[in-house]
Structure 1
Amino acid sequence: MPNLVEAPFGTWSSPITSALVAGESITLVDVLLDGRDVYWVESRPQEAGRHVLVRRAEDGSNVDVTPPPFSVRTRVHEYGGAAAIVVDGTACFSDFADQRLYRLDQGGSAVPLTPAAADGAARAALRYADGRVDTERGLWIGVREDHRDATLEAVNTIVTLDLGSEGPGNMVVQGHDFFASPRLSPDGRRLAWLAWDHPRMPWEGTELWVADFDGATVRNATRVAGGPGESVFQPEWAPDGLLYFMSDRSGWWNLHRREAGGHVVNVCPMAAEFGRPQWGLGMSTYAFLSASEAVCSYIEGGLGRLALLDLHRGGLTRFDLPYADFSLVRAHGGQVSFKAGAPTLPTAIVLLDPRTGATTVLRQSGAVADDPAIHCHFSTPRPIEFPTPRGETAFALFYPPANADHRAPDGERPPLLVRCHGGPTSSASTLLDLRTQFWTSRGVAVVDVDYGGSAGYGRAYRERLQGMWGIVDVEDCAAAARHLVEQGLVDGQRIMITGTSAGGFTALACLTSADPAVREIFQAGGSHYGVSDLAALARDTHKFESRYLDWLVAPYAEDSEVYAQRSPVRNADRLTAPVAFFQGAEDRIVPPSQTESMVSALREKGITTQYLLFAGEQHGFRQGMNIAWALDAEFYFYDTLVFKPVREARRRNSNGTT
């Protein structure tokens, strides 16, 4: 064993720099199959976050399909998803700049299928996503979001577009606030889709509809599943014409089949989540190999798995793979492709032979994990369970400090960064995150908290947050930190809390909690485009989430007082810990005004505050320089205000000075 350099936690030198985190990684956004050809969409920080459609060529090389300046990204629901589809070598994709849908034939130039914004109209007035191609009729069928009347809420519909001409689309399904997953049956005669209405979110209650379809209109539309208390996810037609879908009617998202007579059966009943919260369009957790077999991903006990599913007997045969997280599962012609990753493996596009279990990695998010000089510094998370103040159990991933070159002095315990995931209906990820390794390789422990309300543990666990946002999540994050202190795993005098988006709200709510015992746990905090004013969010956010707070908090018109009680900006007088804020200037989900209200309140109180506003960024940072800047700035903030002062105080005490 090499001689390790002894140094206090939080001072370790690490090769995992912010530049490495930002510059060596891409984000893998989508996976597409076209016959035997595999395509994917990747976001490149080095190109200011441009989303590029890429094809795996026959010689094994990766070839860009969409040239600059096109960026394959849609703003439907603001979170987007399913921005492209490829059929017979022809791609149809949305461009982020103008939100027009384009057709791109192999070897050709991109041709717009939808009109440019009218003179004087707002940009990106018509947005398109989640499409399928009807090759027999020459149509694109998908979701359109219409923002042309700025005085009204955007209108969502399902439309068809002629692949040979330009136009806004022919409306075929309307009448609900939201639509997703339009899916054409194998014979082209039936169309299935999901719909839901305010105030529900898609993981609360969706409806699955089926209708006869002739290419221009739908007839005999029938709701076949779903409702206010049932979330339906990813409807798909099997090769034999039967309709499958995920439903949580049992308390868990399981795969269901609608029989020819209309009867619905649970194909594989399990206390496991085969579905996911539908934050983005085009999500896929299963795909058919035949009418009798499918490949599916699921979460059991907080861990992701991939298996072969016998659709007739309901039996699962797990694949022995080194990954812990699976998504975007696609299949065609006997081959399977998906996105996968693990805590110490980079996220990758993987091709699987389901008969042999052999895999081929087509694209990785970065190569640094393959470098032994980097990999040896990785921390592997430990799933933990801990008691909550309400007598229940909550879950988290704990990353202890790890560095192949350093060790801490005997008896010292590491600082802890408590991380709150966004959503809040989401979950801590088991994917390799170099930002986490940035902290742990410097001697800072990290805990990713799956507080009550998180996905992956069944509907009842998600519903713990109903009406309780700002209470249950706060209690659980504080309980996670307290549990780790009691276990002797971290230093109780050096605990920070940070979060993105909804997680930023939870972090700020912890720091401004009405319970002094919660506030006193944390010595500093960070908010990345986080919510600080619930009332402002209820009044000023995009359509998709405009009624989300009805479920998380209460209907605003009926109980505005509870919004004030739980808003961090209204409780800034309770805050004593320093806070760092990071915000995108073009964020429509959590506008800059949210952050700036909180910053002003803290500065008026004289609390140390850092505010970084990034031009050209929306909800989540995609430009490499900004990713690096935010990471360095947050570490410097905590190091200056927490790590160093505590070390110096202890050094003075050990020397007998005052």
Structure 2
Amino acid sequence: MTAPIRKLAAPCGTWTSPISAQVVAAGASPLSQVMLDGADVYWLAGRASEAGRTTLLRQRGDQTRELAPAPFNVRSRVHEYGGGACAVARGTVWFSHFADNRIYRIDGDGAPQPMSAGGDLRYADFVPDAARARLVGVREDHSAGAAYPANTICAIGFDGSETVLVDGNDFYAAPRLSPDGRRLAWLCWDHPRMPWQGTELWLADVADDGTLVNGRLVAGGADESIVQPEWSPAGVLHFVSDRTGWWNLYRFDAGVVAPLCPREAEFGGPHWTFGVSMYGFRSELEIVCTCIEEGVSKLARLSTADGTLQPLDTPYQEIRELRVAGDTVALLAGAPTIALELARIDLGTGLRTVLARSIEQLPDTGYLSVPQSIRYPSANGRHAYAFYYPPSNADYEPVADEKPPLMVIGHGGPTGMATSTLKLATQFWTSRGIAVLDVNYGGSTGFGRAYRDALAGQWGVVDVEDCVAGARWLADQGLVDRERLLIRGGSAGGLTTLCALAFHDVFKAGASYYGVSDLAGLDADSHKFESHYNEYLIAPKAQADAVYRQRSPINHTDKLKRPMIFFQGLDDKVVPPPQSEVMVNALRARGVPVAYITLEGEGHGFRKADSIVRTLEAELYFYLRVFGIPIPQALAPVEIENLPA
């Protein structure tokens, strides 16, 4: 009988791990926008080793081919967050190239050829209208010199001509042609709403000359969020609406809107990027869809006749996107021990084939922490949700009576969601002996509209309370060291981090990745899509000044007493560098330990491999120094001002 392998006892944070920063950077290839064209599967993949370039791949039979080689970068800049940068039909592909904003066309295996003007015109979410030799999509025009660009639905001819089909609203999304090409559905909304607050679904007939006539409002309004309109094979319009408080499926037939499967679950998500698909038609009688309950996704088949929902057995707990064509389902999905991957499922046989993985070489499972989904009490009688990752390493365990440090993560958005899909960036910490709590604070999606709206007017309060409560709850359970609680976050999560450190004395150190520090400055610098977001998150403009002063960490630097490290992309247009620089200067002047890492050529979110390596290693070094934990010789030092040697 083989004796169990004895682990080495060592201080948490010093454990040697095969999950290095280099492994994290090299292993993570973002996958997005899966598409089906007959038997072919198309998708986009990020290349961190190529400065974050996004390429287009096609699986045909057993062969994978790259269709948009360097220097092509398949990304759209509409709404800054992009998405919907590619479309395919009958072997022809159209895509937006990030460098010049032009739409390029690929016929078969040919080279990309430019089709549109580009420049100050940006395009996204386009669909082919083959009968009229054009694409129909969202266009964002930056050429007028106005404060904000003009958004429209536009027809882009295969000959390069352009015609505006719909205008007058601040935003448009999801133009979708009926199977016979005679009707067009689309979404629109106006300031100050974000699309998860209120959108409208419109329908118009397409005249013989390609213009739209008889436009009419189908559903939606100021307090109803609609996402993903789609046509069934027989030409019945379907969509997802949260009119009951949950994003459920509906159809519009013969002038009547009817629910398909009323349920306290989410069949859609917030419109941050274009082109996301969470359901599709196997036939007129069956929809294959994602159903999210308490933040966990399930694949299911839905009968359009009687609303019966039947789960489909898969290993996944997050389904980020799916497409359906007959018996074929292609999806992007993951689970606690499965990094995001592209899989094809044959509904007839049940066979699942993995076509691409975001991480090709996974560490041994002994070095992976499997999260526990927890629900815990928070402020004012509320409950919050999170995924707790205990430390895990096949070779190490804590020394006697040692409890691990805890890193609390607040996700971005803040209208977003933490998921349990395997992320090496999380395992980087847990495999070194640092526990992680990934919080779905009030305001997160995946838990219904009431939970999402808990953040209305409360950003910087509810999210912070839920992060603080989670850390305290784990400490009360005896699972983590109360004296070594950390908090980190990016973008909106950066505001959560800064507010937690300024207004609560719970966390001992923190890291802000391009975090929001000045709400007024964020409004002044914000791009069009988010320029009124704070009216929902903080306060209407008439009351905003006083609340902004109260909530913005930049006005409360005198309360910041804990060491902090800041990371900032110098090309960030969403949260510009001054948001970090003012905070760094204030801490520096007050004698608080602070480090500041800037990255050239990086925007809102870091894409380059060397940037990922540099930031992870710098953050680890920072925590080890702050807590007096021995630092490995291989870890490059970081300048930390005001911290004694």
- Name the TM-score, length of structure 2 as normaliser: 0.96
SS at match of 1:289: strand
What are the superposed Cα offsets for residues 124-172 of structure 1, whole Å, 9 maximum, x if unpaired? x110000100111111000000111233311100000111x124x2100
What are the superposed Cα offsets for residues 53-112 of structure 1, whole Å, 9 maximum, x if unpaired? 001132x13210012100000000100001001111111000011111111112322221
Which residue of 458, 461, 481 corresponds with 2:471?
A: 481
The answer for the alignment partner of 2:426 in structure 1 is 436
Q: How does 1:389-404 map to 2 (within 5 A)?
A: 389-404=379-394
**Deviation at 1:408?**
1.1
Distance 2:213 2:359 in 1: 48
Are residue 560 (structure 1) and residue 555 (structure 2) matched? no
The answer for the alignment partner of 2:299 in structure 1 is 306
Are residue 64 (structure 1) and residue 66 (structure 2) matched? yes
1:631 aligned partner, one-letter code: L
Distance 1:202 1:430 in 2: 25
Are residue 44 (structure 1) and residue 47 (structure 2) matched? yes
1:3 aligned partner, one-letter code: R
Which residue of 38, 41, 56 corresponds with 1:53?
A: 56
What are the superposed Cα offsets for residues 522-579 of structure 1, whole Å, 9 maximum, x if unpaired? 1100001110100000111100000000000012344311101111111110000011
**Deviation at 1:607?**
1.2
Distance 1:109 1:435 in 2: 36
SS at match of 1:611: strand
SS at match of 1:313: coil
The answer for the alignment partner of 1:466 in structure 2 is 456
The answer for the alignment partner of 1:113 in structure 2 is 115
The answer for the alignment partner of 1:598 in structure 2 is 583
The answer for the alignment partner of 1:265 in structure 2 is 258
In structure 1, the gaps of 5 or more residues are 118-124, 647-658
Which residue of 283, 295, 312 corresponds with 1:319?
A: 312
Distance 2:179 2:494 in 1: 45
Distance 1:257 1:26 in 2: 36
What are the superposed Cα offsets for residues 383-428 of structure 1, whole Å, 9 maximum, x if unpaired? 1111111101111100000001111123211100000000001011
**Larger CA deviation: 557-566 vs 588-597:** 557-566
SS at match of 1:498: strand
Distance 1:12 1:6 in 2: 9
Distance 1:601 1:409 in 2: 38
Tell me if the contact between 1:170 and 1:216 (Cα under 8 Å) persists in the aligned partners: no
Tell me if the contact between 1:453 and 1:465 (Cα under 8 Å) persists in the aligned partners: yes
In structure 2, the gaps of 5 or more residues are 632-645
Percent sequence identity over aligned pairs: 50
Q: How does 1:233-632 map to 2 (within 5 A)?
A: 233-260=227-254, 262-369=255-362, 371=363, 374-513=364-503, 518=504, 520-632=505-617
Tell me if the contact between 1:368 and 1:375 (Cα under 8 Å) persists in the aligned partners: no
Which residue of 153, 162, 186 corresponds with 1:158?
A: 153
1:166 aligned partner, one-letter code: G
Tell me if the contact between 2:14 and 2:629 (Cα under 8 Å) persists in the aligned partners: no
**Deviation at 1:202?**
0.6
Distance 1:231 1:365 in 2: 31
Distance 2:291 2:389 in 1: 23
Distance 1:250 1:557 in 2: 30
Which residue of 218, 224, 229 corresponds with 1:224?
A: 218
SS at match of 2:174: strand
The answer for the alignment partner of 1:653 in structure 2 is none
SS at match of 1:349: strand
Tell me if the contact between 2:489 and 2:511 (Cα under 8 Å) persists in the aligned partners: yes
1:642 aligned partner, one-letter code: F
Are residue 10 (structure 1) and residue 3 (structure 2) matched? no
Query: Cα 1:176–1:366, aligned 2, differ >3 Å: closer, same or farther?
Result: same
1:157 aligned partner, one-letter code: T
What are the superposed Cα offsets for residues 166-219 of structure 1, whole Å, 9 maximum, x if unpaired? 24x210011100000000011111000000000101100000000111352111
Could you say what the CA RMSD is over the residues aligned between the two structures, in angstroms? Answer: 1.3
Distance 2:412 2:46 in 1: 20
What are the superposed Cα offsets for residues 428-469 of structure 1, whole Å, 9 maximum, x if unpaired? 121111010000000000001111111010000011111011
Query: Cα 1:603–1:556, aligned 2, differ >3 Å: closer, same or farther?
Result: farther
Distance 1:463 1:427 in 2: 14
Tell me if the contact between 1:535 and 1:556 (Cα under 8 Å) persists in the aligned partners: no
1:458 aligned partner, one-letter code: G
Distance 1:538 1:68 in 2: 36
What are the superposed Cα offsets for residues 232-269 of structure 1, whole Å, 9 maximum, x if unpaired? 01000101111100000111000001122x11111011
SS at match of 1:245: strand
1:442 aligned partner, one-letter code: R
- Name the TM-score, length of structure 1 as normaliser: 0.94
Distance 1:149 1:179 in 2: 18
Tell me if the contact between 1:418 and 1:481 (Cα under 8 Å) persists in the aligned partners: yes
The answer for the alignment partner of 1:650 in structure 2 is none
Distance 1:430 1:98 in 2: 36
Which 4+ residue blocks in structure 1 deviate beyond 6 angstroms?
none
Tell me if the contact between 1:238 and 1:291 (Cα under 8 Å) persists in the aligned partners: yes
Which residue of 203, 206, 213 corresponds with 2:199?
A: 206
Q: How does 1:636-655 map to 2 (within 5 A)?
A: 636-644=621-629
Distance 2:84 2:422 in 1: 23
Which residue of 97, 102, 105 corresponds with 2:104?
A: 102
Query: Cα 1:598–1:150, aligned 2, differ >3 Å: closer, same or farther?
Result: farther
Tell me if the contact between 2:403 and 2:481 (Cα under 8 Å) persists in the aligned partners: yes
1:218 aligned partner, one-letter code: L
Distance 2:160 2:218 in 1: 34
Q: How does 1:145-184 map to 2 (within 5 A)?
A: 145-163=140-158, 165-167=159-161, 169-184=162-177
1:105 aligned partner, one-letter code: D
**Deviation at 1:645?**
9.1
The answer for the alignment partner of 2:642 in structure 1 is none
SS at match of 1:617: coil
Tell me if the contact between 1:538 and 1:556 (Cα under 8 Å) persists in the aligned partners: no
The answer for the alignment partner of 2:84 in structure 1 is 82
SS at match of 1:368: coil
